[in-house]
């Protein structure tokens, strides 16, 4: 332990100091002690972030990664009505949109043209789709751009696809992999506690089903991310038990590539503005976000070294601070962002590589462009003057270049008002 860190720990309260010293000694942090850390304020919080940063340096080094990717949310029409979701629409909604398979492929090819190595494909659960909807999309993408990594389909979508196909989840995941799926986003996790899940969205994928999908993928050598969505109705204990569950899965399978904490964005979420449940919080506070990143490093870092900071949720300024609180990754460039934007997030839909590198260097770290699976694509030195200009750096107006969620919604409304029935989901008219 450094003299500086020892001095900081000497100024914190005894319960927090005891837990932090145990973490520095390499002991496993249990959920109950993590709840103690969630209570850290003032100097206790400063000490927590310093310990997390120290462990980050040991576990992940000083490099901070980002991936050049594009989000493709091919429909916002969904058979579920999750209380926290501001993105989904019903089939009859004037704002419900679908992208035909040709437009999905067009977006993939445009992403490749602008230097993307990954497309992240997720959407609502459309009613009455083709039984092979996800396989059809995958094959079309990989036929057009075989070198693009498809990071696609949440566990909720995988479960839905298996049900449509009448196949066991493990068999269906194998089909997805054979069709070209490269990895699965660990979204639809929210809080992995069925009582909380029931309050947020009855009929949503259960904790056991989420684990089943994730474990099936890991057994087949298909990596996934893992997430938490927090700051709504969950307790401190439920939050920390979620992290402990993720760690237990990782220790068994080693299949998670990264952990991505996702703040609940409240302003347009029905759960909040329709007051669907009592005592709904307006998302986490700024200090809560710092605590989440720091505690995630302490709980997960020994087995899962990549803790991602979401600039979409938190903005780039706080993201820099979080890189000094245990985080070691800034996620992706995105090009499009629909889900957080529809909920009221205001941090934009594109972050260029140059801007991400500036933020990383300003935080005192070394930037590198990575693949989805954390292999280095391009390393950068300390001098930005030596950086190559990336095609995305030439974009001045992301919405004009790539469109936006609002453009898709407005286009859908115009077509419906004109009486057109040309909207289709992967080739099937609606």
Query: Which domains, from first to last, does the chain contain?
Result: 3-56 (no CATH), 57-429 (3.20.20.70)
pLDDT at 271: 66
Q: pLDDT-derived band of residue 349, with 50, 70 and 90 as boundaries?
A: confident
* Residues 100, 427 contacting (CB under 8 angstroms): yes
pLDDT, averaged across the chain:
89
**Percentage of the chain surpassing pLDDT 90?**
74
- CA distances, 43 to each of 16, 114, 283, 364 (Å): 10, 45, 23, 22
For range 334-346, the mean pLDDT = 59
Statement: residue 423 has pLDDT above 80? no
Candidates 378, 407, 231; CA nearest to 313 is 231
- Over the stretch 95-152, which tens digit does the pLDDT of each residue have? 788 999 999 999 999 999 999 999 999 999 999 999 999 999 999 999 999 999 999 9
CA geometry: angle 150, 342, 369, nearest 5 deg: 40
Give the whole-angstrom CA distance, residue 111 versus residue 119: 8
Bridge partner list, 219: none
**How many CA atoms within 13 Å lie on the side-chain side of 58?**
16
Dihedral sign for Cα atoms in the order 161, 162, 163, 167: positive
* Residues 313, 365 contacting (CB under 8 angstroms): no
> 3-class SS at 228?
strand
Q: pLDDT-derived band of residue 398, with 50, 70 and 90 as boundaries?
A: confident
Global pTM value? 0.91
Give the whole-angstrom CA distance, residue 133 versus residue 300: 35
Bigger pLDDT: 201 or 155?
Answer: 155
Bridge pairing between strands 428-429 and 69-72: unpaired
Q: pLDDT-derived band of residue 413, with 50, 70 and 90 as boundaries?
A: low
- Over the stretch 63-90, which tens digit does the pLDDT of each residue have? 999 999 999 999 999 988 787 776 667 6
* Residues 87, 76 contacting (CB under 8 angstroms): yes
pLDDT at 170: 98
């Amino acid at each position: 332990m450094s003299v500086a860190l020892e001095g900081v720990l000497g100024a914190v309260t005894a319960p927090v100091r005891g837990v932090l010293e145990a973490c520095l000694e390499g002991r496993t942090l249990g959920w109950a002690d993590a709840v103690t850390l969630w209570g850290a304020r003032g100097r206790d919080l400063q000490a927590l972030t310093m310990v997390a940063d120290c462990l980050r340096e040991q576990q992940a080094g000083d490099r901070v990664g980002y991936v050049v990717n594009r989000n493709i949310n091919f429909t916002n029409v969904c058979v579920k009505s999750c209380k926290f979701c501001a993105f989904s629409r019903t089939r009859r909604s004037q704002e419900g949109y679908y992208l035909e398979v040709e437009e999905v492929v067009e977006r993939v090819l445009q992403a490749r043209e602008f230097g993307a190595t990954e497309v992240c494909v997720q959407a609502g659960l459309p009613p009455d789709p083709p039984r092979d909807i996800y396989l059809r999309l995958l094959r079309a993408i990989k036929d057009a751009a075989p070198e693009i990594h498809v990071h696609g389909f949440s566990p909720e979508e995988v479960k839905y696809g298996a049900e449509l196909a009448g196949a066991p989840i493990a068999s269906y995941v194998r089909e997805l992999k054979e069709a070209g799926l490269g990895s699965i986003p660990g979204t639809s996790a929210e809080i992995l506690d069925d009582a909380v899940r029931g309050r947020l969205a009855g009929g949503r994928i259960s904790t056991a089903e989420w684990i089943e999908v994730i474990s099936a993928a890991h057994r087949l050598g298909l990596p996934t991310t893992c997430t938490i969505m927090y700051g709504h109705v969950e307790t401190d204990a439920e939050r920390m038990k979620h992290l402990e569950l993720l760690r237990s899965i990782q220790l068994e399978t080693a299949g998670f590539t990264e952990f991505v904490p996702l703040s609940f964005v409240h302003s347009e979420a029905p759960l909040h503005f329709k007051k669907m449940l009592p005592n709904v919080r307006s998302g986490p506070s700024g200090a809560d976000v710092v605590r989440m990143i720091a505690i995630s490093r302490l709980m997960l870092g020994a087995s899962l070294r990549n803790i991602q900071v979401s600039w979409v949720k938190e903005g780039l300024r706080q993201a820099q601070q979080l890189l000094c609180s245990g985080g070691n990754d800034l996620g992706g460039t995105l090009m499009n962002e629909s889900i957080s934007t529809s909920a009221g997030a205001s941090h934009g839909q594109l972050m260029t590589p140059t801007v991400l590198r500036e933020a990383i260097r300003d935080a005192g770290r070394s930037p590198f462009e990575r693949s989805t699976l954390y292999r280095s694509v391009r390393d950068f030195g300390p001098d930005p003057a030596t950086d190559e200009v990336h095609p995305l750096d030439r974009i001045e107006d992301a919405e004009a270049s790539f469109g936006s969620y609002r453009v898709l919604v407005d286009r859908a409304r115009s077509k419906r008002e004109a009486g057109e029935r040309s909207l289709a989901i992967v080739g099937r008219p609606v």
